[in-house]
Amino acid sequence: MGSIAIVGAGNVGQAIAGHMILLGHDARLFSRWERDFDAIQANNGIDLSGDVEGHADKPLLTTDLSEAVTGADTIIVAAPAFAHAYLSEQLAALLEPEQLVGFQPSVLGSSLELSRHFALAQRTPCLIAETPTSLYTCRLRGPAQVFIGAIKQAVHLATIPRTGSQTALDRLSQYFGGRYVAGSDTLSIGLGNCNAIYHVPPAVLNIKTVEDADTLPHHTLVTPRVAEVVNALDQERLALAEALGVKTHSFWEFLESAYGVTEGSHVERIVQGYGRQAFPEPDSLTHRYFTEDIPFGLVIWNSLAKQVGLPMPLTEAFIRISGIICNDDFEATGRTADVLGLEGSDAVAIKAAFSDGVTPLATV
């Protein structure tokens, strides 16, 4: 059996930790805050329901990142996107070349950012992997009680360096079976994170129900006209991928690969994909559909598009409107080309960085 560390103790982190314990693996769960473990301590473990059923004994619970990752062959980062920069700096000082770290899920640039921190620390990097979405579609339904609505059928994965993907797939298969499949590179994988496509338009266009905390099922907010906005935003993302010289799946192709949805109108496909889980819309303006999907989704898309002269008017409009709604400057706080060291880069240089990472020589 393997030894796996999960960084982040939210719904995804607890789902993975609990599932790994049930499968007999050594699992460690890290959070920066001790309070995140209170419910798990009181419950003497994690209760899983849905696609995985059972009571998992407590994994090792720690607020010490070194204790969590030292000796683990695999590290899964299941923390929110806004924590990736901080965690990457810390992990670059701790991880050894033989380890594997995977952002599950990533947002565009997470693997590249970790590669940069390894370079800045002048340390040999470990293999870095990322996926565009979490393998587990899950929510906390009570203290230390995770409902797993679905374990996706197939999720693409890519690595930095690009040549390491098969090594990563082989390592991860002992934990997750064959559900991860090879993607081409971390640029296409990062652009394949469709969260902002599905989360942002319905939330922004139904802002009254968000402000009223109606907690309606998010998929019910997608009317035929809202679905057309979802599709139009997706088309801008696909145009960015083409401008950068990579291919990625459409949102509708994602629904097919993740949930087996192949037929029906746009609204019908969303209902088929998400209706079973019926996860609620945001209940506040600090929900991750705003604080993660905009500054670490739409903002980096738009920033990279500017490097190659591609206009993304709908993406930019959602950034601006959401900033006013949330009283936040998402472009100032989010991930940009400048943050990743790509300011002024052309498509060839951007693609190369996402393929091979950053070397120490390139940082001096």
Within this chain, do residues 146 and 205 fall inside the same structural domain, yes or no?
A: no
Average pLDDT value for the chain = 95
Within this chain, do residues 132 and 253 fall inside the same structural domain, yes or no?
A: no
Please provide the DSSP assignment of 205-237 as one string.
Answer: HTHHHHHTT---BGGGG--HHHHHHHHHHHHHH
Closest to 289 in 3D by CA, of 250, 251, 330, 338: 330
Residue 20: the pLDDT is 98
Return all residues near 271 (Cβ < 8 A) that are at least 6 apart: 219
Mean pLDDT calculated for residue range 146-172: 95
- What does the block give as tokens for 201? 């338009």
Closest to 229 in 3D by CA, of 270, 284, 257, 263: 270
Write out pLDDT tens, residues 42-51.
999 999 999 9
Domain residues for the domain of 71 are: 3-191
Asked if residue 351 belongs to a domain, the reply is no
Within this chain, do residues 162 and 302 fall inside the same structural domain, yes or no?
A: no
Residue 363: the pLDDT is 42
Within this chain, do residues 227 and 124 fall inside the same structural domain, yes or no?
A: no
Among residues 158, 191, 224, which one ends one of the domains? 191
Mean pLDDT calculated for residue range 19-34: 98
Q: What one-letter code names the amino acid at 8?
A: G
Q: Which residues pair with 197 in a beta bridge?
A: none
**CATH (domain of 311):** 1.10.1040.10
221 touches 209 (CB < 8 A): yes
Whether 97 has a pLDDT exceeding 90, the answer reads: yes
Within this chain, do residues 89 and 218 fall inside the same structural domain, yes or no?
A: no
Number of domains in the chain: 2
Among residues 170, 191, 212, which one ends one of the domains? 191
**With 0-12 CB in 10 A as exposed, 13-18 as middle and 19+ as buried, what is 133?**
buried
Mean pLDDT calculated for residue range 177-185: 94
Q: CA-CA distance, 267 to 70, in Å (whole number)?
A: 46
Cα end-to-end span (Å), the chain:
42
Write out pLDDT tens, residues 195-226.
999 999 999 999 999 999 999 999 999 999 99
Give the lowest-confidence range in 14-23, 146-155, 314-323: 146-155
**CATH (domain of 112):** 3.40.50.720
* pTM given for the model: 0.88
Write out pLDDT tens, residues 241-293.
999 999 999 999 999 988 899 999 999 999 999 998 888 999 999 999 999 99
Residue 277: the pLDDT is 82
Dihedral (CA of 314, 317, 323, 329) sign? positive
Asked if residue 355 belongs to a domain, the reply is no
Write out pLDDT tens, residues 283-309.
999 999 999 999 999 999 999 999 999
Within this chain, do residues 18 and 62 fall inside the same structural domain, yes or no?
A: yes
- What does the block give as tokens for 266? 């746009």
Within this chain, do residues 154 and 288 fall inside the same structural domain, yes or no?
A: no
